[in-house]
Amino acid sequence: MPSLRYVVADVFTDRPLEGNQLAVFTDARGIDEETMQALALEIGFSETTFVLPPEQGGTVRIRIFTPKSELPFAGHPCLGTAWVLASSLQRGAVELETTSGIVPVELERDESGKIVFGRMSQPLPSVEPYSNADALLRALHIEESQLPVERYDNGVRHTFVTLGSQDEVAALRPDLSALAELEVMVSCFAGSGAAWKTRVFAPSDGVPEDPATGSAAGPLVVHLCRHERVEWGEWIEISQGVEIGRPSTLFARADARDGELERVAVGGHAVVVARGEFRL
C-alpha cells in the first residue's frame, strides 16, 4: 500500500488558516496523472502540486492540478511549493520547471534562517481584447468596466474587469453558472496608487472564488501599468479573499524598458500548517 506524503501550506498570508490553501506532494514519483487528478479532487483546494525530478535544469519539476484539470502555471502553487521545499533544503532560491517554463522563486530569510518572504518571476503574459465582454458583464451583474476588458495569458488565461471602488468589488454577486458557461477566469478589481482589491471567479475550473490568485496578480499590475494607473517598476499590494473568509495579501510589480515588458514579479508570505499522507 503506497504512502503518499503531502504538506499543506497557506499561501499569500503569514497567518495560519488564512490565504490560499495548497497541498504539496513532495515526492510524486510513481503517481500517475489519473491519480494526481483524483487526489486534487479529493483534497478540494483550488490547486494541488506534485513534485518530480527536474528535466530541464531546474531544481524540481512540478505539476499543478485544480479539482477539475491540470494547469501549465499558477502563482500560489509556485510560491507555496518553493516555500515548502526551501524550508527543508535550506536554499535561497528554487527554480520550478512548469509547462510554461522555469519559474525562479527567491526566498528571503531573517537572522534565524526562517523564510519570511518569497518572490517569483512569472512568465511574461500576452494580451488581447476579450471578445465576449457584454456577456461577461451581464454574468457579473455590472454595467461597465472602467478600463477595457482584456484577457492576459501567462500559462493561465485571466480576464480583467475594472470596477469603480473597492466597495463595489466587495458587493459583487456574480452568476457563477453563467461564468462557467463562458469558461472564463475573471478578476474584478478596484483601487488606486499602491493599494488594490480583487476578487477572482473561476467556476469552470472548479473554483467558484479563489482566495489568492498569484497568476492573476502579475497580469493585473501589467494591466494597470499599460493603462497608466500605476507606474512601471512600482510595487502594488493586492487584497483578496476577504469575502470567503480567507484574507490574502499579494505583492506585484512589472518592469518595462523602451516600451517592452521585461519582468513580472509577484511575492508574498506563506506558512506550513499541516502534514499528512494518503494510503492508496
* Residues noted as catalytic: 47
Nearest CA to 82 among 236, 270, 273? 270
Secondary structure letter of residue 235 according to DSSP = -
Q: Output 224-227 pairs: Cβ under 8 A, ≥24 positions apart.
A: 224/196, 225/254, 225/256, 226/127, 227/147, 227/148
- Sign of the Cα pseudo-torsion (262, 226, 130, 180, in order): positive
**Cβ–Cβ under 8 Å, residues 203 and 178:** no
Instruction: Give the integer Cα–Cα distance in Å for 13 and 20.
Output: 8
75-89 and 214-226 are packed helices; what angle lies between their axes, rounded to 10 degrees?
A: 120
Look up cell 452568476; give the residue.
175
Q: What distances in angstroms separate CA 23 from CA 88, 99, 145, one per listed residue?
A: 16, 19, 35
